[in-house]
Structure 1
Amino acid sequence: MDKNIIIGAMTALITPFKDGKLDEATYAKLIKRQIDNGIDAVVPVGTTGESATLTHDEHRVCIEIAVDVCKNTHVKVLAGAGSNATHEAVGLAKFAQTHGADGILSVTPYYNKPTQNGLYLHYKEIASSVEIPVLLYNVPGRTGCEIATDTIIKLFNDCQNIYGVKEASGNIDKCVDLLAHEPRLVVVSGEDAINYPILSNGGKGVISVTSNLLPDYTSKLTHLAMDNEFLKAKEINDAMYNINKVMFCESNPIPVKAAMYIAGLTPTLEYRLPLCEPSSENMKKIENIMKQYNIKGF
Structure 2
Amino acid sequence: MFTGSIVALITPMNQKGKLCRSSLKKLVDYHIKNQTKAIVSVGTTGESATLNQEEHINIVMFTLEIADNRIPIIAGTGANATEEAILLTKRFEKSGISGCLTVTPYYNKPTQEGLYQHFKAISENTELPQILYNVPSRTGCDLLPHTIARLSKFKNIIGIKEATGDLSRINKIKQLIKDDFLLISGDDVTALDFMQLGGHGVISVTANIAAKEMMQICNFALKNDFINARKINQKLILLHEALFIESNPMPIKWIAKKMGLIKYDTLRLPMTPIMQSTRLQLEKAVKYANL
Match of 2:60 in 1: 63
Question: For residues 1-298 of structure 1, what are the structure 2 equivalents within 5 Å?
Answer: 6-18=2-14, 19-73=16-70, 75-157=71-153, 159-184=154-179, 185-295=181-291
Task: Give the structure-1-normalised TM-score.
Answer: 0.94
The alignment partner of 2:93 has SS state of helix
Amino acid at match of 1:98: K
- Name whichever of 251-260 and 178-187 sits farther off: 178-187
Is the 8 Å Cα contact of residues 6 and 78 (structure 1) preserved in structure 2?
no
- Name whichever of 97-106 and 174-183 sits farther off: 174-183
The alignment partner of 1:97 has SS state of coil
Gapped runs of 5+ residues in structure 1?
none
Task: Give the structure-2-normalised TM-score.
Answer: 0.96
Amino acid at match of 1:178: I
Number of aligned residue pairs: give it. Answer: 289
For 2:82 and 2:21, locate their aligned partners in 1 and report how far apart those are by CA, in whole Å: 28
For 2:130 and 2:213, locate their aligned partners in 1 and report how far apart those are by CA, in whole Å: 26
For 1:64 and 1:126, locate their aligned partners in 2 and report how far apart those are by CA, in whole Å: 20
Deviations along 1:182-227, one digit per CA (max 9) or x if unpaired, are 2422110100001111111111111000000000000000111011
For 1:71 and 1:96, locate their aligned partners in 2 and report how far apart those are by CA, in whole Å: 16
The structure whose RCO (Cα within 8 Å, separation 6+) is larger is 2
- Name whichever of 105-114 and 178-187 sits farther off: 178-187
Gapped runs of 5+ residues in structure 2?
none
Identity of aligned residues (%): 38
Is the 8 Å Cα contact of residues 84 and 112 (structure 1) preserved in structure 2?
yes
Q: Pairwise CA RMSD of aligned residues?
A: 1.2
For 1:38 and 1:98, locate their aligned partners in 2 and report how far apart those are by CA, in whole Å: 25
Deviation at 1:288, TM superposition (A): 2.3
Classify 1:160/1:183 alpha carbon distance in 2 versus 1 (closer, same or farther; 3 Å). Answer: closer
